[in-house]
Amino acid sequence: MALCASRNMSVARATRQTAAPARVAARQVVRASRRNAVVVNAAAPLVGSKAPAFKATAVFDQEFVDVSLDKYKGQYVVLFFYPLDFTFVCPTEITAFSDRHAEFKSIGAEVLGVSVDSQFTHLAWIQTDRKEGGLGDLAYPLVADLKKEISEALAATHTHTFSTKSTNIQSLRGLGDLAYPLVADLKKEISEAYGVLTDEGIALRGLFIIDKEGVVQHATINNLAFGRSVDETLRTLQAIQYVQSNPDEVCPAGWKPGDKTMKPDPKGSKEYFAAI
């Protein structure tokens, strides 16, 4: 993938500030690159831009609820996507976030899980005990992204294969009770809006941390075969909160609360490196 060494500053500034769909932002970057005789084939990232707004049906506390990103304004949001209900890696991630939900809540953050399954499938999975392959109640919403709008707003076009030929129904893992809502994205509008929708119509393992002002501060997208770390998500969220509360400081690699930070200038950085 070719990268543009020097982008037009006005386009870069507009890309950071706009809440336009990722597809539009991507075209702007390509046009600017062509003026510089360099073709950029990647979509512009959402980090630093307003998170795509969405409204959807979710399952929380054994009920169907309406959720929207606007509802969480003033809170940090950990928005994560997963491929499908009743699969294998997915329940390990979903239940891990639920089991640690109180830690996110204690620092002013909410968690939302999204897949392209329906709210009815979410509910069936949640109502199945974990020992029987279910989710149980979650501490956060699972979002139904049926129109795939949320997943695709995060700027990626990929080809992946997700095989279910060897699936043993009796071996499928469930969720039991969860501490957050699972969102139903049946139309795939959310998945599409966030750029995580694959050609097969399922979401990659995208994870986005959105700040109190609705700006995406962090984004990662995993392929289908490996899960994400709750510890790293929590650490990244804490680092984001720290630098937003202390704008004259930056957090070095692996920073955790209580660790030394540095000033983003030659003198301040020397003081940091001399102390470690």
Residue 135, pLDDT score: 72
Residue 144, pLDDT score: 66
Q: Which string of b and e fits 133-165 if b means at least 16 CB within 10 Å? A: bbbbbbbbbbbbbbbbbbbbbbbbeeeeeeeee
Q: For 32-50, what is the mean pLDDT? A: 58
Q: For 34-59, what is the mean pLDDT? A: 72
Gap between the Cα atoms of 55 and 24, Å rounded = 21
Q: For 43-70, what is the mean pLDDT? A: 92
SS3 223: coil
In this predicted model, what pLDDT tens digit does every residue of 112-158 receive, in sequence order? Answer: 999 999 999 999 999 888 777 677 677 777 776 756 667 666 544 33
* Residue 111 β-bridge partners: 78
Residue 138, pLDDT score: 72
* Residue-range domain boundaries for the chain: 1-44, 55-228
Residue 146, pLDDT score: 57
Least confident of 36-50, 205-219, 241-255: 36-50
Catalytic residue among 26, 43, 90, 262: 90
Who wins on pLDDT, 211 or 143? 211
Residue 262, pLDDT score: 95
Known catalytic residue: 90? yes
DSSP state, 63? E
Q: State the pLDDT confidence band at 80, using cuts at 50, 70 and 90.
A: very high
Q: For 156-185, what is the mean pLDDT? A: 58
Least confident of 3-7, 70-74, 169-173, 257-261: 3-7
Residue 143, pLDDT score: 74
Residue 88, pLDDT score: 86
* Average per-residue pLDDT for the chain: 79
Pair 78, 219: CB distance under 8 Å: no
In this predicted model, what pLDDT tens digit does every residue of 220-270 receive, in sequence order? Answer: 999 999 999 999 999 999 999 999 999 999 999 999 999 999 999 999 899
Residue 131, pLDDT score: 75
- Which CATH number applies to 55-228? 3.40.30.10
* Residue 183 β-bridge partners: 58, 143
Gap between the Cα atoms of 141 and 68, Å rounded = 11
Cα dihedral sign, 176-182-188-191: negative
Q: State the pLDDT confidence band at 97, using cuts at 50, 70 and 90.
A: very high
Q: Report the candidate in 216, 220, 224 with the shortest Cα–Cα distance to residue 198.
A: 224
Query: Terminal CA-to-CA distance of the chain, rounded, Å?
Result: 37
Angle at 142 between CA 141 and CA 143, to 5 degrees: 105
Tokens read off for 142: 């699972």
Residue 154, pLDDT score: 57
